[in-house]
Amino acid sequence: MSPTDRTPLLTARGIEKSFGANHVLRGVDLDVRRGDVVALIGASGSGKTTVLRSLNGLETPDAGVLELAGGPVVDFGAQAAAAGPGWFGNRTARAAAKANRAALRDRSAMVFQHHNLFPHRTVLENVIEGPCQVQGVPRATATGRAEELLARVGLTEKRDAYPHQLSGGQQQRVGIVRALALQPDLLLFDEPTSALDPELVGEVLTVMKELADEGWTMVVVTHELSFARQVANQVLFLDGGVVVEHGTPEQIFTAPAEERTRRFLDRILHPLD
Ligand SMILES: Nc1ncnc2c1ncn2[C@@H]1O[C@H](COP(=O)(O)OP(=O)(O)OP(=O)(O)O)[C@@H](O)[C@H]1O
């Protein structure tokens, strides 16, 4: 299936976000189709993580619209206006906004820079926690699913280990399995390898590439430009909270149209020049 045949899964329009006086996102648009691997690249502080967190309701944008196929259309600006300021705003509008954000969150799962595993629970317990506690999946079903997923990433033997008994790469693979166990429509990765020792990066990127090959829909914030180049089918370059350039990996990496993109890529690819 060519990327253009894919059906739309998520559309974001005009996403705005400020933290106090820091206007972090200034109208970000994004189109994710089923099976897409979208890479968000850009300098530190350009807003990549804030975009990702906005897609699953971990961050509430000040304005903009998000639509997940088959789910609610979430208009953040309209919601904020309807809910009004402070505790005395419109409670019904506030409750509706919360329900819509929950609906977004239910359809996606996030893999974080730091795996955030529960330290006092085994690998298996970490993986089944979400399906059992959040989704109400019976324990036996969740356990069967978790075992299959752990086998897929080569961690069957670590089922009963605790996170501190695993390497950083293994912990991050458990983080990925934990996200997969929720059976989301959309996988969100926030720099999943940037906290790892260099020799452990490959094993995590390999799992991510396999997921992409299997057709999972993924949005990935990454500094791993080789991954973005080889695995993504869309690359967005963010600078100053704006999508400066958007295209295929070939376009962005071999013929960037924007001077800002060229300068960013130069800095990363030739750090000593
Ligand atoms: N919860 C928050 N409260 C206040 N400021 C925040 C918060 N989250 C992000 N910011 C600010 O928003 C800006 C963008 O941050 P963001 O993490 O989205 O950038 P990024 O491109 O992902 O950076 P990095 O590559 O370093 O992770 C930064 O100035 C950051 O300090």
H or E element: which one contains 184? Answer: none
Centroid of ligand 1 to alpha carbon of 14 (angstroms): 18
Centroid of ligand 1 to alpha carbon of 28 (angstroms): 15
- Tens-binned pLDDT, residue by residue, of the chain (273 aa): 555 668 999 999 999 999 999 999 999 999 999 999 999 999 999 999 999 999 988 899 999 999 988 888 888 887 777 766 665 567 776 777 777 777 778 889 999 988 789 999 999 999 999 899 988 999 999 999 999 999 999 999 999 999 999 999 999 999 999 999 999 999 999 999 988 888 889 999 999 999 999 999 999 999 999 999 999 999 999 999 999 999 999 999 999 999 999 999 999 888 777
Centroid of ligand 1 to alpha carbon of 31 (angstroms): 22
Closest CA relative to residue 177, chosen from 147, 150, 205:
150
Q: Name 3's Cβ contacts closer than 8 Å, sequence gap at least 6.
A: 33, 35, 36, 233, 234
Calpha distance 191→57 (Å, rounded):
18
Global confidence as pTM: 0.91
Cβ atoms of 196 and 206 closer than 8 Å: no
- State which amino acid sits at residue 168: G
Residue whose Cα lies nearest atom 24 of ligand 1: it is 44
Cβ atoms of 47 and 262 closer than 8 Å: no
Centroid of ligand 1 to alpha carbon of 49 (angstroms): 7
In short, whether 21's Cβ falls inside 6 Å of ligand 1 is no
Centroid of ligand 1 to alpha carbon of 50 (angstroms): 6
Centroid of ligand 1 to alpha carbon of 260 (angstroms): 20
In short, whether 46's Cβ falls inside 6 Å of ligand 1 is yes
In short, whether 47's Cβ falls inside 6 Å of ligand 1 is yes
First-residue to last-residue Cα distance in the chain: 41
In short, whether 19's Cβ falls inside 6 Å of ligand 1 is yes
Q: Which of 50, 59, 110, 264 for a ligand 1 pocket mutation test, highest count of atoms within 8 Å of Cβ?
A: 50
Closest CA relative to residue 238, chosen from 58, 36, 32, 51:
51
Helices (H), 89-221: 91-107, 123-129, 139-152, 168-180, 198-213
